Structure 1
Amino acid sequence: MRHCEMITRRFYLLRKLFLMADNDNVVFHQQLLSIDENLGKDDVEDMKFLCSDFITLKKLETVKSAQDIFLFLINEDLINKDDTFLIAELLYIIGNNFLLPKLGYTKEIVQEELLKRRKVSGYRQLLYEITQDLTMDNVKNAAFLLKNYLPKKQPIMSALELLTSLEKKDLLMESNLSILEYICGKTAPHLLKKIEMYKQAKVPHQGIKETDPSSVCAFNKPTFGNISFQDPVLPKNHEHLYNEQFGSLQEHIGNVCSLAANLDVKAEPVFDSLKQGLQRTVRENDTNAEAVVLSQYKMDGQCRGYCLIINNVNFEGDLKKRNGSEKDAMELKHVFTWLGFKVKKYDDKTSTEIEKLLEFWQSSKDWKDSDCLVCCILSHGKSGKIFGTDECLIPIRTITSYFKANRCPLLAQKPKLFFIQACQGEKTQQPAFLQEDTGHAASFEPDAQSSGFVSSQQLTSSIPDEADFLLGMATVDGYLSFRHVLEGTWYIQALCSKLQLLVPRGEDLLSILTEVNEEVSKRADPQRERKQMPQPAYTLRKKLIFPVPNKPFVPSEQSSDMQ
């Protein structure tokens, strides 16, 4: 009897231990699932690339989600319920630090642990950092130059695909970075210093002297993987590529090729066409020219994102009807649709309805594969706030805070743009130089009724104190903004006009908003008594450049006629 009791007790003990272990695994898999749900398509591609030293390229080709990557890592015994550091390292590298607490880590803890537990090689991280700084134009130019050595069935769509293709053909490897230096030298010279710093850190025992930035890319006769300049695999007319030096970094910054834009350039021979490309000068006299080349936000996804337009025209109490606002709303819809956004327009919303809309979009899963959020609010306003149609005020700070990383993690690291067309007070800006404007005095109205207390710090306090936000205000704090009852507001009309004009020229958003400021500042009412000055505030970390749409912009009037 006693023997049976011992057996029974041991059985229950083993069962308990099994269940505990199983529960631990459940928690572990729940952690992985939660992380997967917060990663977008680009994040998964980044993680695939960083894991290519642990998982074969053939297996990585089957990956559709982060769950697939995690499963491979578990099978390779690289992660388990007791050791999730590799995932934390991957999240840290791709900049998704807001997900680290799901694994019990913080950014600071990961940074400290990396000193002794790093698993992603310096080589792999170098390649990843290079891909983050290569623009789509850089990738297109590099793919054109290397056309003979890349897959012909489908075009290269990203920097990650470009470098992965070169690695598959053994043209790029840790022991030979020549082709990487070649690509950067011809398309993005500012990245050559990054490569040189990696090479110096890799072999410190050789006592390599720090290279001056003006000569970091000087080298002779590079070899691309297993292909040397003597190799008969390469046509003889390519040989001059290997016999020439790259020259100085400064020379390349002032001599960037833009071959993809030149339709007359022949693809054969590939390297002979280098001298036929279009040349673009970038601050030839600037000794710090590499400093002006900034990284860009990713804006090449299948879904650009959503543009939300809240258009308040009719109000319940004493606030006047905002005649002309519909013109603004339709123009915004037309321009942002052209830029690749899915536009959602909401008319006449109370303060409560606006907050419910923001809550809905905050929790939307559609941000997972989106590049960007645009939110345009057209209403009456006062200092730091906008009116709902119920004449209740909503702080702009409250509106923007719905999309902070901790409240909307799928938009973390992605640009969030807010354009506010509303007065911010009752003061009128006095013109220093007046320019006659067409129309009648009665055709202009302010977008405010009362200003209340005006704070000089209101604009900067309206934007979250974290990265990747831009707040475009129609006017500086404390002042009126103006709206034509037929033609719309000065600010929104100028914004739409400058976007359709300057996006095709490759201008970044902050440059475009500077042009908007210039355009609006020239405007005045017919009595030449009232002026307006827009003001942007931002915490963007990178340049924001909208991809040039495939179709030319057609003004909304012509577009409606064509339909």
Structure 2
Amino acid sequence: MGDDISLKFRQQLLLIEENLGTEDVAALKFLCIDLIPFKKLESVQSALDIFQFLMAEEYLSEEDTFLLAELLYRIKCHFLLKKLGYTKERVQEYLPEKGRVSSYRQMLYELAENVTSEMLKEIIFLLRNQLPKRQTTISALELLILLEKQGLLTENNVQVLEELCMSVSPDLLEAISSYKREKVSLPQQENTLPVKESVLPHTGDTRLFTSPQETSVKAVSSNINDHYGGEPGSLWEHVGNVRPIPIRPGDKAANVIQGVSEMNLELRAKFINAENESKNLTSYKMDGPQRGFCLVINNVKFDGDLQERKGSCKDAEELNQVFTWLGLDVTIHRDLTSEQIKDLMQAWQNLEDHKDRDCFICCILSHGESGAIYGTDGERVSIRTIMSYFTAQQCPALAEKPKLFFIQACQGKEIQRAVCVEPDAQIPDLSSMQQRISPSESIPEEADFLLGMATTDGYASFRHVQQGTWYIQALCSKLQLLVPRGEDILSILTEVNDDVSRRADSLGTKKQMPQPAYTLRRKFIFPVPRDPPPSQQH
């Protein structure tokens, strides 16, 4: 927190934080979605993180603590209001004038509070094809966020939410109905708070609400902000038989489907359209007029005790051919010192042409040790440092675009060499190996990065003095084989792992295992080139 914040105010916030549990923090995060950029909220670990972001966005200060009081009031932590000099009644009095949590966000939170564990299980069952396969548990608030990310739930379109509520418990519809009545009665109302950044996608539709017959889920999905994507899969596909829910006389939700088994054909078609749009949104945009740049650093000859990396030029040649075939503009630099590598990264960081490209790829072939590669001067450069030049903040032209780094270098001490096989490791004493950095620690926390390491932390990688390295040769081979099949990069790297793991030195005793790490938010799929792969052009 800033130095201009008094000790007393810090103590107030600390006391509040100490009285908030994990569920309270999750509730605060949810209520702040329209106030704090979602990328920041994803990194929140405690209430203090939220307080820090609110102060950074100028929503919370020592002079104005009402927003925090409102948030505590919304999550029913009324006993903490006195630490800010408020009472429950005083907050209620000021809410019409100073309230900043939108009625839409209030409605969703109220709904989540009323969803029982059994109801949540039923909803998750209905949405099982929409949820990430690896996600075994999810809270009601997380489920709502997922629906918003996928464009199936917006401020102006709550139809899907109504259908889900009708299927599991029609009583839940009351909160939605109240919200809709408020919106319709105040069509001129706009959010008056100074929102810094829209966090979740909005359709931009000027209509407040439409009937199920008029609402196009495809229209909702097609307007999702490109910053977000969702898991593919039809909302209702293969759900099976669901018991119909009788509609009470006079219920305004009479037009809502009685159950998934009775969904009319028109709505089924709309959800299929939404599914198709969702599938498109799960992949990075790779259809621009220019694919991107591929930077290759090939360090072969070194000063001092580091040996010449014979066979590395074979790798650089293969990378040039394959990535040129994939539509990238390849630039190769050979034998760079540590400072030259940093200068080169800074030059590429400031390249304005990135804004017209789909992606950026960097391949580094050198000696290395844990978490670092060597310049030809024998000085180390941290892998994390190299990648940090291209974060969204440091390189805005590549923000939200995929950035792939492939590192062919040892990450551990020298091992016994076999005939025609050399380790890409430092030969002298390796006492500096005591502090190892794994790929997951090397990759920046920002989104849209992929780091492909030739080997796992602490181990050597292998290079044939004539045929090149196991890792780069397998990478180039699998790209040529699997890109034409439409495989995404992670599937391709899994095949690379399998390929390299099966290789061994001439004695059959030395092995290698590559390791990818990534913060990609979508699938990365190269468009299929028109020309045949380089291996078939000879």
Q: The TM-score by the shorter chain falls in which range?
A: 0.5 to 0.7
Give 2:163's aligned residue: none
Do structure 1's residue 444 and structure 2's residue 421 form an aligned pair?
A: yes
CA distance in 2, matches of 1:208, 1:174: 7
**Structure 1 residues 210 and 429, CA, compared in 2 at 3 Å: closer, same or farther?**
farther
User: Residues 322-341 of structure 1: matches in 2 within 5 Å?
Assistant: 322-341=309-328
The reply on whether 1:398 has 2:366 as its aligned counterpart is no
Q: Report what 1:485 is aligned to.
A: 465
* Number of the residue aligned with 2:440: 460
The residue that corresponds to 1:43 in the other structure is: none
Contact 2:151/2:221 (8 A) holds in 1: no
TM-score (norm 2): 0.54
Q: Give yes or no for contact 1:312–1:389 (8 Å, CA) kept in 2.
A: yes
Structure 1 residues 209 and 469, CA gap change in structure 2 (3 angstroms): same
Where in structure 2 are the equivalents of 1:59-458 lying within 5 Å? 116=102, 176-177=214-215, 180=218, 190=233, 206=253, 218-220=263-265, 295-426=282-413, 428=415, 441-450=418-427, 451-452=430-431, 453-455=433-435, 457-458=437-438
Report the CA distance between 1:106 and its aligned residue: 8.2
Given residue 362 of structure 1, which amino acid in structure 2 is its aligned partner? Q
Counterpart secondary structure, 1:549: coil
Give the RMSD, CA atoms, in angstroms.
Answer: 4.9
Which residue number in structure 2 is paired with residue 547 of structure 1? 527
Distance 2:305 2:235 in 1: 62
Contact 1:375 1:419 in 2 (8 A): yes
> 1:442 offset after TM fit, Å?
3.0
Q: Is the 8 A contact 1:475 1:481 kept in 2?
A: yes
Residue 501 of structure 1 corresponds to which residue in structure 2?
Answer: 481
Classify the secondary structure of the residue corresponding to 1:405.
coil
Whether the 8 Å CA contact 1:92–1:107 is kept in 2: the answer is no
Deviation, 1:207, is 6.8
Amino acid at match of 1:176: E
Q: Is the 8 A contact 1:475 1:534 kept in 2?
A: yes
Structure 2 counterpart of 1:198? none
Q: Indicate how the Cα distance of structure 1 residues 117 and 421 shifts in structure 2: closer, same or farther if over 3 A, else same.
A: same
The CA distance in 2 between the partners of 1:490 and 1:371, in whole Å, is 28
| Alpha-carbon shift at residue 543 of structure 1 (Å) | 1.4
CA contact (8 A) 2:315 2:473 kept: yes
The residue type paired with residue 363 of structure 2 is C
Return the alpha-carbon distance in structure 2 between the equivalents of residues 328 and 538 of structure 1.
Answer: 23
The DSSP-based 3-state class of the residue aligned with 2:342 is helix
**2: CA distance, partners of 1:173 / 1:447:** 65
Report Cα offsets for 1:330-389 as digits up to 9, x if no partner. 111111111111111111111011000000011111111222111100000111110001
Question: What SS does the corresponding residue of 1:491 show, helix, strand or coil?
Answer: helix
Give the structure-1-normalised TM-score. 0.52
- Distance in 1, Cα, partners of 2:408 & 2:436: 19
8 Å CA contact 2:419, 2:506 repeated in 1: no
Gaps of 5+ in 2: 1-33, 43-52, 61-66, 72-98, 105-146, 153-202, 223-230, 238-250
- Are residues 322 and 173 of structure 1, via their aligned partners in 2, closer, same or farther at CA, if it must alter by over 3 Å? farther
Preserved CA contact (<8 Å) 1:331 1:496? yes
Question: Measured at CA, do residues 394 and 183 of structure 1 come closer, stay the same or move farther in structure 2, by a change above 3 Å?
Answer: closer
- Report the CA distance shift for 1:470/1:94 in structure 2 as closer, same or farther (over 3 A): closer
Distance change (3 Å), C-alpha of 1:527 and 1:546: same
Aligned pair in 2 of structure 1 residues 384, 114: CA closer, same or farther (>3 Å)?
same
Tell me the SS of whatever aligns to 2:233: helix
Tell me by how many angstroms 1:467 deviates. Answer: 1.4
Quote how far apart the aligned CAs of 1:411 are.
Answer: 1.4
Cα distance in 2, alignment partners of residues 90 and 372 from structure 1: 30
* Percentage identity across paired residues of the two chains: 51
AA of the residue aligned to 1:528: G
Provide closer, same or farther for how the CA distance between residues 130 and 426 of structure 1 changes in structure 2, counting only shifts above 3 A.
Answer: same
Per-residue displacement from partner, 1:442-498 (whole Å, max 9, x unpaired)?
311110124442456522211112211111100111111000111100000000111
Structure 1 Cα separation of the partners of residues 529 and 36 of structure 2 = 32
Write the distance in 1 (CA, Å) between the matches of 2:361 and 2:345. 12
Q: 1:321 to 1:301 in 2, by over 3 A?
A: same
1:123 aligns with none
8 Å contact kept, 2:151–2:220: no
**3-state SS of 2:419 partner:** helix
Deviation string, structure 1 residues 237-274 (Cα, Å, up to 9, x no partner): xxxxxxxx759x8xx79xx99xxxxxxxxxxxxxxxxx
User: What is the identity, as a one-letter code, of the residue corresponding to 1:391?
Assistant: G
Distance 2:293 2:500 in 1: 26
Q: Secondary structure at the match of 2:294?
A: strand
Aligned residues: 346
2:189 is aligned to none
CA apart distance, 1:552 = 2.0
Q: 1:408 to 1:117 in 2, by over 3 A?
A: farther
Q: Answer yes or no: is the 8 Å Cα contact 2:414–2:425 preserved in 1.
A: no
Q: One-letter code of the match for 1:190?
A: G
The offset of 1:554, in angstroms, is 2.6
Q: Deviations over 1:89-131 (max 9, x none)?
A: 9997999x9xxx9xx958999xx9985599xxxxxxx999669
The 1:541/1:128 distance shift into structure 2, 3 A limit, reads: closer
**Aligned counterparts of 2:312 and 2:531: Cα–Cα separation in 1:** 27
The Cα of 1:398 is off from its aligned counterpart by 0.8
Amino acid at match of 1:423: C
Describe the superposition over 1:150-169 as per-residue Cα deviations: whole angstroms up to 9, x where unpaired. xxxxxxxxxxxxxx9xx9xx
Please say if residues 302 and 377 of structure 2, whose CA atoms lie closer than 8 Å, have aligned partners that are also in contact. Answer: yes
1:220: Cα distance to partner?
A: 3.9
Secondary structure of the residue aligned to 1:373 is strand
Seen in structure 2, the aligned counterparts of structure 1 residues 94 and 130 have a Cα distance that, compared at 3 Å, is farther
